Structure 1
Amino acid sequence: MAVALKKVEGKKDFVTENWHQKAREIQKWGDVVQDLPHRLDAKVRADMCKKLNQLLADSIQLRDMYKKHHWQVAGPTFMQLHLLFDKHFEQQVEMVDTIAERIQLLGGVSIAMGGDVAEVTKIPAPPRGREEVPVQIARLLEAHKTIMQDCHDIAEAADEAGDDGTNDMVVSDILRGNELQSWFIGQHLVDMPLTYAE
């Protein structure tokens, strides 16, 4: 149903006047809000945000790899992996949101756009085309390994800086989830016969 916009005499057309607005950024990338009512000083928060943005970029890359592999998986384990990759994608969506919200809570700016993520992530991009299942799984396992190392490094730095919230988040919400996903997909690389016992 179309909505007609009524022009009021003497007033500017709201849509025409407000459609293409431009303004300065309200917070630059890398800056943290200085006067945030937080017990951690701005220097500590800025350092944590930088580390968390690396984790966020790597997590977004992994999240998107799960969706790519969900769409492109093939072979005798198609159904199991198709469903598993999508389940892991949804869990990564939640983890990505948790990391981004922690950055915002600390007064920082979360990385968000695909092009920016591609410039920052340490996880290599897969090719656009379809790959065999063992290669898909190997890529995912390497990505999980990178993220788990990110979590370890951030947890250690957060502990030293007294940032209990970041320490708890990366261990409880991100590290443990990635460990579990890594275990689930790693079991698909175990060499076991499907129809006979050795």
Structure 2
Amino acid sequence: MKVVILDTGCANLLSLKWAIKRLGYTLEISNEPSMLMKADKILLPGVGSAKAAMNQLKSFNLIDLIKKLHQPILGICLGMQIFGCRSSENGGINTLGIIDKPVSIINTKGLPLPHIGWNKIIVETKHFLFNNIPNNSYFYFIHSYAMSLNYHTIAKCNYGFVFTAALQKNNFFGVQFHPERSGTVGAQLLKNFLEI
């Protein structure tokens, strides 16, 4: 199986790479369109700003290609957020538009921002991405923006308000947390994705 991590130049590429290697998979890190088209599974990590991520994808002519891919794609943190239609960052950034829902700064109701650390997620309905993961498990988060609950939400988290912790639309999967930093439950989630 050919696993490709889309090289967005973000800081968590290597930790994600080693998390997947520990599961026994070989992989490539690439932003070459030909590599993505040949991949069986693609991971789209992201840390930082939506504007920088979209500029990076645009510079490699990947925006239209990503929307047309049919193999399973897992967006992680910012990688999931850019599946939305727009980010409120800097007054508004257009994103991939795969999910017709914007991403906004978290209304924490007085809790510290960014949301950093372990928080539990609730899986709304049984979903294979969470096979062998107990409900209310704790995952590691670091983010200031989030997507509200919507038709594609498969798990939620509460930090001042309830937001989408995981989603799926067709072949596009997303998690707001960092599975590569989330211990055994994070490793299990990556395994579940790679075994789709």
* TM-score bucket of the superposed structures, by smaller chain: under 0.3
The structure with the greater share of residues assigned to strand is 2
The structure with the greater share of residues assigned to helix is 1
Bigger Rg, structure 1 or 2: 1
TM-score, with length taken from structure 1? 0.23
Structure with higher RCO (Cα < 8 A, 6+ apart): 1
